[in-house]
Amino acid sequence: MTTSSYRIQGATGEWEVVIGLEVHAQITSNAKLFSGAATAFGAEPNTQVSLVDAAMPGMLPVPNRECIRQAVRTGMAIEAEINRWSRFDRKNYFYADLPQGYQISQLYHPLVGEGSIAIEPAEGEEKVVGIERIHVEQDAGKLMHDQHPTRSYVDLNRSGVALMEIVSRPDMRSPAEAGAYVRKLRSILRYVGSCDGNMEEGSMRADVNVSVRRPGEEFGTRTETKNVNSVRFVMAAIEHEARRQVDVLESGGRIVQETRLFDPDRGETRSMRSKEDAHDYRYFPDPDLLPLELDEAFIAECRASLPELPDTKRARYRDVLGITAYNAAVLTAEVETARWFERLLAACGDRVTPKAASNWVISDLFGALHRIGKDIDASPVGPEQGAELLALVADGTLSGTLAKQVFEIMLETGDDPAKIVAERGMKQTSDTGAIDAVIADVLTANADKVAQYRDGKEALFGFFVGQTMKAMAGKANPQVVNAQLKKALG
C-alpha cells in the first residue's frame, strides 16, 4: 500500500487522518429482505408495509432469495470471500421506527468476508482499500416530526428494506481517497445492479469513522459520523472531523469515542450520542431463521450472472480497443456510459475505429449533453444514430465541420443523419471542378494576399482555406481544398 501525503498541519506539527467507511447500500429488489412488501421510493407513507414489516404478533421473517443473491454478486465483484454458511442475528433496541424492537442483521457470521477495491483518487496514487465484510440487514422506518405540533408520526415504508453494509478497513488516509472509494464502490454496485447508488434518495449512505495520529504512530480514538449522504459531504465531514480532533488533541483534550452527525448546512460534525448512552444491543442469533447455507449451484449462478466490471472493462478498452487511457477511464466510470458506448461500437461495426468513436462521445456527445442538461440515458441522439453519423465522417461523406452541424440538427430534430444530409444537401463535395472555380474567385478577390503569400508569408495559406470553405458553406472536402489551393497558388 502506498502512503498518502495528505497531512493536517497542526500547531504542534503534522497529523495523519485514518478513515474507514461503513456504507449502507439498499439492495435493488422488488421486495423487502424478509417480507413480500414492495420497496418503491417516494410512495405515500405506510403503503409499502406488510404484516411482517409492522411486526404484528406471530409474524415471521422469511429471507428473500433475490436480496441474498445480490449481496453475493456484490461480494464477488469485489473479489471477496463468499461464506457458504452465514447467520442472522438480532440487534435489540427500542425506537419508534423499529417495529420489531430489533433489527435483523449479521454480526457474528456475515454473508461476505474479506475483499478489496482499487481506487484512484483525483490527487494521489492508485491504492487498494481492504473490505472487511459485507452483511445484509433490515432498514428501519422513518419518523416524521412535521405532521403535527406535538406528535411524531411513523412511516414504515422503509421498514424491512434490504441493505448491504459494506465495511472497509481503516485504509484511507485523505478525504480524496474516501471520496474516490465511495465513487468506485457506487460504480461497482451499479455495474452489478445490486444497488442503484442513488445517494439523494438514501439508497446509499455512509457512516464515516475518522481518527487522527502522528504519521506512523498507533491509531487514535475514532469517532463515527452517521448517515452521510453524498460524496461531497463524506469528504467535508472527514475534513472537518479530522481538523476538530487535531484541535482537541493539541489543546490537551482527549477524543471521546462517540457517534456524531454531519450538518451539511454548517459543514461540521456534532456529537449525537456519547459512549455513556451507548446501547447494549444484546445481539443473539435470530431464532426465527435458520442459518443461511449457499449451495454450489446458487454460487455458480451468481458468478455467471456478473457483468464485465469497470476495472476489467477499462483495461480492455485501453489494451484491446486502442482507446486512450483517459477516454477508457471516463467511458467505464459509469455503467450507463459504458453501456451506451458499447451499443455505439456495435452499431459502428468495422466502419469506425473505437478510438474515433470514443473521441466523439467524450467531446461532442458529452459536450452536447452537458449543454442541454441531460444524462446519457436520456440523450436525444441514440447510439445507433451516433454510429450512422460517425460512419458518414469515416466514408468521407461529411467533413468534421459538417458532422458537427449535422449532429446539432440531430439533437434538435431527432432525425437520422442520412436524412438530414440528403434533405439539406449537406454532403461534402470533392468535385475539383467546383472547388477550383471557388478557389479562383477567392484568389481574385484577394490578390494582395496572394502576392504576400508568394513573397513568403506562408501562414496565409490557412486564410485561403478558410475563405474557400466559407464560400462553399463548409461542404468542401478539406483535403481536396488543400490540394487544389496548393496547385492554384503554385
Partner 1 sequence: MAALTDLGIAAIRDGVRDGAFTAREVAEQFVARVAAARPLNAFITETPEHALAAADAADKARAAGTLAPLSGVPIGMKDLFCTAGVRSTAASAMLGDFVPPYESTVSEKLWAAGAGMLGKLNLDQFAMGSSNETSAFGNVVSPWRRNDGGNAALTPGGSSGGSAAAVAARLCPAATGTDTGGSIRQPAAFTGISGIKPTYGRCSRWGIVAFASSLDQAGAMARDVRDCALMLQAMSGFDPKDATSLDLPVPDWEAGLSADLRGKRVGIPREYRVDDMPAEIDALWRQGAAWLKDAGAEVVEVSLPHTRYALPAYYIVAPAEASSNLARYDGVRYGLRDLPEGAGLQDMYAATRAAGFGAEVKRRILIGTYVLSAGFYDAYYTQAQKIRALIARDFEQAWASCDLLLTPTAPSAAFALGERSADPIAMYLNDVFTVPSSLAGLPAMSVPGGLDGQGLPLGLQLIGRPLDEQTVLNAGLAIEARAGFGERPSDWW
- Which CB, 98 or 167, lies closer to partner 1? 98
3-state secondary structure of 2: coil
β-bridge pairing 268-273 and 85-86 = unpaired
3-state secondary structure of 215: coil
Per rule CB under 8 A, is residue 326 in the interface with partner 1?
no
Per rule CB under 8 A, is residue 110 in the interface with partner 1?
no
| Shortest Cβ 88–partner 1 spacing (Å) | 10
Per rule CB under 8 A, is residue 276 in the interface with partner 1?
no
β-bridge pairing 259-263 and 89-92 = unpaired
Per-residue binding letters, 14-53, with partner 1 (x by CB under 8 A)? -------------------------------------x--
Residue type, 409: I
Neighbouring residues of 63: CB distance < 8 A, sequence distance ≥ 6: 33, 34, 88, 289, 292
> Which of 123, 264, 271, 284 is in the footprint of partner 1 by CB under 8 A?
284
Q: Is 195 exposed, middle or buried (0-12, 13-18, 19+ CB in 10 A)?
A: buried
- Which CB, 63 or 124, lies closer to partner 1? 63
Per rule CB under 8 A, is residue 102 in the interface with partner 1?
yes
Nearest-5° angle of CA 6, CA 166, CA 256?
Answer: 55
| Angstrom distances, CA of residue 46 to CA of 39, 55, 267 | 11, 13, 33
> Which of 8, 18, 38, 55 is in the footprint of partner 1 by CB under 8 A?
55
Among the residue ranges 25-33, 207-215, 246-254, 284-292, the one whose residues contact partner 1 (CB under 8 A): 284-292
Among the residue ranges 67-75, 96-104, 419-427, 440-448, the one whose residues contact partner 1 (CB under 8 A): 96-104
> Which of 73, 87, 90, 314 is in the footprint of partner 1 by CB under 8 A?
90
Q: Is 17 exposed, middle or buried (0-12, 13-18, 19+ CB in 10 A)?
A: buried
| Angstrom distances, CA of residue 166 to CA of 134, 184, 423 | 5, 13, 56
- Residue 473 CB neighbours (<10 A): 12
In whole angstroms, give the CA distance from residue 392 to residue 421: 10
| Shortest Cβ 141–partner 1 spacing (Å) | 10
Per rule CB under 8 A, is residue 92 in the interface with partner 1?
yes
> Which of 57, 149, 373, 456 is in the footprint of partner 1 by CB under 8 A?
57
- Which CB, 280 or 350, lies closer to partner 1? 280
Among the residue ranges 73-81, 89-97, 269-277, 322-330, the one whose residues contact partner 1 (CB under 8 A): 89-97
Please count the residues of this chain forming the interface with partner 1, following the rule CB under 8 A.
Answer: 30
Among the residue ranges 1-9, 281-289, 347-355, 360-368, the one whose residues contact partner 1 (CB under 8 A): 281-289
| Shortest Cβ 225–partner 1 spacing (Å) | 24
Among the residue ranges 190-198, 217-225, 282-290, 331-339, the one whose residues contact partner 1 (CB under 8 A): 282-290
Among the residue ranges 13-21, 288-296, 327-335, 355-363, the one whose residues contact partner 1 (CB under 8 A): 288-296
Per rule CB under 8 A, is residue 154 in the interface with partner 1?
yes
> Which of 1, 43, 60, 256 is in the footprint of partner 1 by CB under 8 A?
60
| Shortest Cβ 41–partner 1 spacing (Å) | 23
Burial 243-280 (b: 16+ CB within 10 A, else e): bbbbeebeeeeebeebbbebeeeeebbeebeeeeeeee
Report residue 485 as a C-alpha cell. Answer: 489551393
Per rule CB under 8 A, is residue 261 in the interface with partner 1?
no
Per rule CB under 8 A, is residue 287 in the interface with partner 1?
yes
- Phi then psi dihedrals of residue 55, to 5 deg: 55, 50
Per rule CB under 8 A, is residue 96 in the interface with partner 1?
yes
| Shortest Cβ 162–partner 1 spacing (Å) | 15
Per rule CB under 8 A, is residue 448 in the interface with partner 1?
no
Which residues partner with 225 through β-bridges? 208, 260
The upper half-sphere exposure of residue 184, i.e. CA atoms within 13 Å in the direction of its Cβ, equals 26
> Which of 45, 63, 193, 307 is in the footprint of partner 1 by CB under 8 A?
63
Per rule CB under 8 A, is residue 54 in the interface with partner 1?
yes
Per rule CB under 8 A, is residue 175 in the interface with partner 1?
no
Beta strands in 214-277 (DSSP E): 223-228, 259-263, 268-273
Report residue 346 as a C-alpha cell. Answer: 456495435
| Shortest Cβ 66–partner 1 spacing (Å) | 15
3-state secondary structure of 440: helix
| Angstrom distances, CA of residue 167 to CA of 98, 104, 182 | 23, 17, 12
- Which CB, 138 or 332, lies closer to partner 1? 138
Per rule CB under 8 A, is residue 99 in the interface with partner 1?
yes
Per rule CB under 8 A, is residue 325 in the interface with partner 1?
no
Cell 464477488 maps to which residue?
Answer: 76
Q: Which positions lie near partner 1, rule CB under 8 A? A: 51, 54-63, 90, 92, 94-96, 99-102, 152, 154, 280, 282-284, 287-290
